[in-house]
Amino acid sequence: MAQDPVSVRATAFLMAVRAICHRIALSRPLEDQWDSHCSNFAYDWRTDMVNLRKVEFTDVSPDAELVFALESAAPCEELTKLRDDLHLIAGALAADGVVVSLDTNAQRRFRRLARQAGSIAHIVWVNLRECGEDEVLAWLQSGAPALDGFLLGASQADA
């Protein structure tokens, strides 16, 4: 069983998603990323979610307008990393507007860009490294609303 606090939090989150009847959207790039990084527990969890028909497989790509807006606002040194993670934003825009991740750097990159490219400001980004377990579970139990502190466009004081 996981002992690292972030792993414990991620495990509790995934179990709650399954139990509370939430669904997930899974694109090919996200599935590839998941396959290369997931634990045995996470692999089994995803298999359970597929068997329960709680996975929406999506075939989305970021639209050209979004890519242009984000690339125009991003510093040159961040473009490669931005492109690597853009599938998260495209998936959120195509689904429910939510990203749940452990990637603090990607969250910070998109949060900076949201101030310049407002089209992503309304995306909810929950970072399991930075949120407390109780906070995340309460958020899920309340229907995963767009809380100000989780919005990419939130001010630093709110986030």
Tell whether 157 is covered by a domain: no
- For residues 24 and 49, the answer to whether their CB atoms sit within 8 Å is yes
Q: Are 123 and 113 in contact (CB under 8 A)?
A: no
Is 105 inside any structural domain? yes
Contacts of 55 (CB under 8 A, 6+ apart): 23, 24, 25, 26, 46, 49
Q: What is the pLDDT of residue 156?
A: 59
Specify if 104 maps to a domain: yes
Whether the CB-CB separation of 49 and 18 falls below 8 Å is answered with yes
High-pLDDT (> 90) share of the chain, %:
55
Residue 19: pLDDT above 90? Answer: yes
Work out the average pLDDT over 84-103: 92
The answer to whether residue 30 is domain-embedded is yes
Distance CA 40, CA 114 (A): 34
- What is the extent of the structural domain holding 74? 5-150
Nearest to 57 by CA among 85, 34, 82: 34
pLDDT at 84 over 80: yes
CATH of the domain at 114: 3.40.50
Number of domains in the chain: 1
Classify residue 155: in a domain, yes or no. no
Q: Calculate what percentage of the chain has a pLDDT beyond 70.
A: 96
Q: Tell whether the model's pLDDT for residue 64 goes beyond 90.
A: no
Q: How much is the pLDDT for 59?
A: 87
pLDDT digits (tens, 9 = 90+) for 22-59: 999 999 988 998 889 888 999 999 999 999 999 999 88
Query: Count of CB atoms within 10 A of residue 90's CB?
Result: 20
Residue-level pLDDT at 101: 93
- Overall average pLDDT of the 78-98 stretch: 90
What pLDDT is stored for residue 69 in this prediction?
83
Whether 95 is in a domain gets the answer yes
* Amino acid in position 64: A
Specify whether the CB–CB gap between 110 and 85 falls below 8 A: yes
Q: Where are the beta strands (DSSP E) in the chain?
A: 24-27, 55-58, 98-101, 124-127
Is residue 158, in this structure, part of any structural domain at all? no
C-alpha–C-alpha distance, residues 103 and 100, integer Å: 9
- Is 156 part of a structural domain of the chain? no
Please check the confidence at residue 107 and state whether its pLDDT lies above 80: yes
